[in-house]
Structure 1
């Protein structure tokens, strides 16, 4: 612009500065109508003070001799404070860009007697100044939000480490841990385990969902990452449909619901055992009800207890054909739980089924019509690859 145009633009800026109070009040009225601002920790006085500073710095920057240094400093302060006050970023940026609307309305106010051609020539300058301000606010908001999340994660790790310490926390320690994590010590908790690599992906999904609905804790334990969140569920662990989306396409082991913070340790141990038991190429949700037989078999093998030894050595006394028919009948019966259904599957009479089950009991001493014996035989058959 020419010197004369610069003078006329600077004069308009100063006349508009005389309307600063009206600009601030107009901005406040529109911004405080946003429920996100009303529900945050932001006070009207804080917003008013920040508005005065922001509009003053914007006007300074818009002068022909203006520099953005003060505006950038204010952007850092606004972005940092709004992150701490938990104002949603979308609402914050909407409010910052409202500066343009309010500022432009007052620049074009008839009482300022602005030349329309002068306004048109400077419209891009006004917009780019406000847009740059918004970009700096967003940058510092995100940096502060990341710092807050990191501090919260560090604090959570500290207290979760106490929860999972080798020595079980005492009642007073559990109360303290629950208070720090802002959960009820007597509440119910879901516990799930994924591989550490998948934990990075799931943690990111949880962060996105947590801002809307879910409070969660993530804790790395060796090769696995645990995810823990409060729940109203009291039944055997499973994932609700919304939670399944957070674990989509990854192998996840879900433990039975922990009834109370003190039981989270046991649920975590169960989730890890289920996870260890899953096949390498798995990408499914696995619960204790799905995997208890295989988990039990592996745990027993770890201490040298082969349940196959209570079945197969004793069947060596019968012929190969008799052994095959007995095992086929026992396996089918354990799948169906019914003599009649077993006979229909094997295409033999109900009495034939009963005779073979009796023969199995005669050889092994195990009656598969008794629940305790049946559970042992199920694991023994799986041990040898004879799936019941």
Structure 2
């Protein structure tokens, strides 16, 4: 027999063992969490595996029509797995596994294949599997791009409704949550970033599995909003994945929104924090970080600048005394301790007491009382 005749006889023999090839493949692939958790049924995996091996074995026979059929099936599989949400790297890894399964079957001792023939045909087998994998990957990526485009358009449409000037009704909120496939009663992380960083963040979002890390993005004026549903028991601290998403950019994080109805308020808070940040800022900023600056700025905008309550009163003392009193007041507001303030200023504790008493005498603000200290913080900073 010629090499070609031996090879076709061997391929036909393996073709008669298709059920065994399928079960061998399933045994190897099912431990992969991406497949175990993908929601694919065992019947789906078994059927697609059977069809994949059938198409590859037919192509190994060398007929042009069978090679064309392999490409058609690969395209169908790539599109279907993209819609089913199977990660591409897991899909390609599974297809590469086909080579091992095929090769084990072709070189099985009971088939008594000529070792030299197997060596000569190894490249043919690998090229066939590789061609199949490339076709699957190409179609997968095209389908994913179409899905993401349609999802992005739909996402923007419903986020526009959620954040529109007219507040949506409860029924509207339920409909929006359903369309966005989010739990309306979830806790939501709401953040704002500079719009110039929006493209970078969206690329990072696309690089993460959406099942494990659902994130919505929305361009709004000078800012890009990032909205992510979280578990109800989540704390305010960013998770590792969230922190990585915002690495090396400035991000303003609002207090958590408890349910979709609070997202609008959280968006306003995130934008306010973002607008307050100095140029060139990097890192994560929360209301805890920026409340003092935001409040002082807002009060001054409506003619209620707290500085007027302090600096006009301190105008009655000398420049040197005013600096000493402000220095003591700022240190005490930061440290909250007479002893620590005395250490900071390298003076006696009684000196700090006297300076704070003088500060109260001029301004009427007792810095050991919470309400007075809060007003002083707004007026002179910590």
**TM range, smaller chain:** 0.7 to 0.9
Please list the CA deviations of residues 49-93 of structure 1 after superposition, one character each: whole Å capped at 9, or x if unmatched: 333432332233223443532111111111111222233333322
Residue of structure 2 equivalent to 1:385: none
User: 133-142 or 121-130, which moves further after superposition?
Assistant: 133-142
Query: Offset at 1:35?
Result: 5.1
Alignment of 1:1-388 (within 5 A): 4-32=2-30, 34=32, 36-66=34-64, 68-109=67-108, 112=111, 114-211=113-210, 213-232=212-231, 237-346=236-345, 352-382=351-381, 388=382
User: 261-270 or 124-133, which moves further after superposition?
Assistant: 261-270
CA distance in 2, matches of 1:19, 1:327: 88
User: 304-313 or 10-19, which moves further after superposition?
Assistant: 10-19
User: 37-46 or 167-176, which moves further after superposition?
Assistant: 37-46
CA distance in 2, matches of 1:66, 1:252: 56
1:153 and 1:12, CA in 2 relative to 1: closer, same or farther beyond 3 A? Answer: same
Query: Offset at 1:236?
Result: 7.9
1:264 and 1:362, CA in 2 relative to 1: closer, same or farther beyond 3 A? Answer: same
- Helix, strand or coil: the match of 2:64? coil
CA distance in 1, matches of 2:231, 2:335: 34
CA distance in 2, matches of 1:188, 1:172: 19
Q: Mind listing any 5+ residue stretches in structure 2 that lack a counterpart?
A: none
Provide TM-score, normalisation by structure 2: 0.86
Count of aligned residue pairs for this structure pair: 381
1:289 and 1:356, CA in 2 relative to 1: closer, same or farther beyond 3 A? Answer: same
CA distance in 1, matches of 2:121, 2:222: 59
Provide TM-score, normalisation by structure 1: 0.85
User: 317-326 or 274-283, which moves further after superposition?
Assistant: 317-326
RMSD: 3.0
Please list the CA deviations of residues 202-261 of structure 1 after superposition, one character each: whole Å capped at 9, or x if unmatched: 333344444573322222222222222233477984324453233222212122122222
Q: Mind listing any 5+ residue stretches in structure 1 that lack a counterpart?
A: 383-387
Query: Offset at 1:380?
Result: 1.9
User: 335-344 or 213-222, which moves further after superposition?
Assistant: 335-344
